[in-house]
Amino acid sequence: MLLYCFILNAGEPRKFDPKFRGPIHNRHCTDIICCVIFIVVILGYIALGVVAWVHGDPRKVIYPTDSYGQFLLNPFTYLYFGMKIFEDYAISWYWILMAIGYIMSTLFYPIVTFLLIAICISYWAVTAVFLATSGEPVYKVMANQTLCKYANLTCDPETFNTTNVTKLCPGAQCTFAFYGGESLYHKYIFIFQLANAFVFLWLVNFAIALGQCTLAGAFASYYWAYRKPADIPLWPLFSSFGRAIRYHTGSLAFGALILAVVQLIRVILEYLDHKLKGTQNSVTRFLLCCLQCCFWCLEKFLKFINRNAYIMIAIYGKNFCTSAKEAFFLLMRNVVRVAVLDKVTDFLLFLGKILVAGGVGVLAFFFFTQRIPVFAQEVPMLNYYWVPLLTVIIGSYLVAHGFFSVYAMCVDTLFLCFCEDLERNDGSTAKPYFMSASLHRILGKKKLSPKKASG
């Protein structure tokens, strides 16, 4: 009953507009304040990376150190396994690229999204490493704490033997403890790491939002073309990308910001859960588990709302909040269709990804283990055949995910356009539907106009 009452109050249906022909071309910039903040944050993020690169030293992560803070450089001891893996990649890269390339050749825009996300991940990872390795070596006095009052105090190894510590504390040594510092920068390293993670999540969600809005605009241009393909505008994908960047960077950044905040909270909750695993306080663990579940559901809901909001932004060019509200009410007025379409689409797409990754993985396994007689002579000798095998499987799944994400965005966009079409038009000669006859038979109930039914 509550759901029924909510659906009845889900806004007024769209009214017929004879001038409406798909994505609005005469639009203005939306969510300008968020756009300005987003640009300022990006500039600050670049400055944070520069400062981290100045103070950091990645060798502190790669190489171990002795008690004096000196690096132990022995590649034959510490890098043997990594060198073997690199060797496998070097002699099998051709076959890996060939296996993935046949799928990627059918993609276009997902490659742009992959590149943007790859840049974000690379910048975040490098900045995080340099932040973690910032600081100078700190040395402390190692001695019996009960007999030496200087134990665990900082010291200078160059002048340690000339001080009175060695006389008052026989056997004491000035040894390396950790990397750190007393400057303002070193005191806020943890805050900088949180900022690095937050901006990374924001940028990744923005790249995904840009891709979704761009694809939605292109698919909407197709749907709202009455005579297909004659009325479809030229270069719909590039036109949609230009509109998204020029007018709606702020709206996309606003939606990405909301999602990034929730994801950062989830990361913090996961960190707290990891720290509290050894505690016996069951009440705290239960509350933390409830919070994790609630924020997981909230993230899923926000992704669903954002996705449909970006579709409405691509069509009507309004700000994020207005677009999210209109998309949500439109979906609530068609809640039965939404439930059926969403579950069926998710299952089919997931099944497609598993079949693609599994099929390519099986073929790669038989290939790299020399079980295909035709290619047995061409297979390179590998130290660990699972290295290229995992690369092929993961790469195939990611490529399949990119391809099917385009298909999923097409389904969601056409569905929202279909719902709008049903509310705006009635299938008569004066108000003809824009949908095809086959789509109407699958999702609709009303009759098409004679012209559309015969087309």
Q: Over the stretch 57-98, which tens digit does the pLDDT of each residue have? A: 766 666 666 555 565 555 444 445 455 544 444 444 444 344
Q: Please report the pLDDT score of residue 375 as a whole number.
A: 67
> Span 21-49, mean pLDDT?
86
In one-letter notation, the amino acid at residue 186 is: H
Tokens of 280: 């016996």
pLDDT band at residue 207, thresholds of 50, 70 and 90?
very high
**Domain extents in the chain:** 20-134+187-424, 137-180
Residue by residue, DSSP assigns 178-222 as EEE-SSHHHHTHHHHHHHHHHHHHHHHHHHHHHHHHHHHHHHHHH
Mean local confidence (pLDDT), 371-398: 73
Q: Are 433 and 448 in contact (CB under 8 A)?
A: yes
What is the CB neighbour count within 10 angstroms for residue 5?
9
220 neighbors 311 (Cβ within 8 angstroms): yes
Q: Which two tokens stand for residue 377?
A: 């002579």
pLDDT digits (tens, 9 = 90+) for 111-141: 888 889 989 999 999 898 888 877 777 788 8
Distance CA 211, CA 408 (A): 12
Separation between Cα atoms, residue 208 and residue 117, nearest integer Å: 8
Res. 317: pLDDT tops 70:
yes
Residues sharing a CB contact under 8 Å with residue 401, sequence separation 6 or more, in sequence order: 353
Rounded to two decimals, what is the model's pTM? 0.76
Distance from C-alpha of 31 to C-alpha of 254, rounded to nearest angstrom: 8
Q: What is the pLDDT of residue 137?
A: 75
Separation CA 420–CA 214 (nearest Å): 19
